[in-house]
Structure 1
Amino acid sequence: MDTQNQIPVDAGHYTYRVTWSAEDGEYVASCLEFPSLSWLAPSRADAIDGLERLVAEVVTDMRANGERVPPPLAERSFSGTFNVRIGEHLHRDLVMRAAEEKMSLNQYVTRKLAAG
C-alpha cells in the first residue's frame, strides 16, 4: 500500500494563488500542486474557499481510488542541491564573473538566483 495515502493532508496546506481574470470578470484561484484545478468567484476569498473545498474533494477521491496524493510543497523536504546542465561558454563566463566578484561559482550563482 502507498504510505503516501496514509498521511493526512490538509487542503489548506497546498500552495494557492488568486488572480483577476479580465476575460471572466471574476477572480480565479489556482493550486500549484494541482495545476488542472481552478475556481472562479466574484471575490478573492470565495475563489480560495471554493478551490480549497475542491482540492479536499479531489484528495478524498484520489485516496479512495488508491492514487498517489501529491504532498503540499510547504511540507516537502528539499536537499538544497540541484544540477543544471549549461553550455561550455556560459560555464566559463559564470566562472569568470564569480572570480571578478571574488567568490566561488556556487556563491555567485546562488546570489544571482536569490536576486530573482
Structure 2
Amino acid sequence: MSATMPDVSHYTYRVSWSPEDEEFVATCLELPSLSWLAPTQDEALHGLRDLVHDVVEDLHLSSESIPEPLSSRAYSGKFNLRVGERLHRQLAIKAAEEHLSLNQYVVRKLGDAS
C-alpha cells in the first residue's frame, strides 16, 4: 500500500456483461469492493474510473493506505508453491520424461495455461 496518490488510470480495470443486471459491470482489481453498472462498456468504465478517483482521493486526504497499481509493483519472479507428495512425484516424472528440470517443466506448463 502506498501513501502517495497514484495515477488511477494505472489501475487494472475490467468490463464485462452482467446477465443478472442486464448491464455492463466495471471492476478494479486493486479495489475489489468497487463496481459500476451502466448500459454500455464505455459508460461502465468511465463511471468506475470516476468513482475510483474519488475513493483514492478520499483515502489520500484521510491519510489512509492506498493500493499501489499492479502494474507498478515489483515482482521477484519467485514464489513458493506447496503441492501434495503425489502431485510432486507426477510432476517430477513428467519433467524427467521431457529432459527438463522440475522448475523448467512447471514454468512451461504455467506459460501454456496463460
- State the TM bucket, normalised to the shorter chain: over 0.9
Describe how 1:1-116 pairs up with structure 2 within 5 A.
4-6=2-4, 8-116=5-113
**Equivalent AA in structure 2 for residue 68 of structure 1:** S
* Mapped partners of 1:34, 1:72: distance in 2: 10
In the TM superposition, residue 35 of structure 1 has moved relative to its aligned partner by 0.6
**Amino acid of the structure 2 residue aligned with 1:64:** L
Q: Taking structure 1 as the reference length, what is the TM-score of the superposition?
A: 0.93
**Residue 20 of structure 1 aligns to a residue in which SS?**
strand
Unpaired stretches in structure 1, ≥5 consecutive residues:
none
Q: RCO greater where, 1 or 2, for CA within 8 Å and sep 6 or more?
A: 2
Structure 2, unpaired ranges of 5+:
none
Corresponding pairs, count: 113
User: Cα RMSD (Å) of the superposition?
Assistant: 1.2
Q: Percent identity?
A: 55
Q: Distance in 2 between matches of 1:94 and 1:53?
A: 47
Give the residue type in structure 2 aligned to 1:15. Answer: T
| TM-score between the two structures when normalised by the length of structure 2 | 0.94
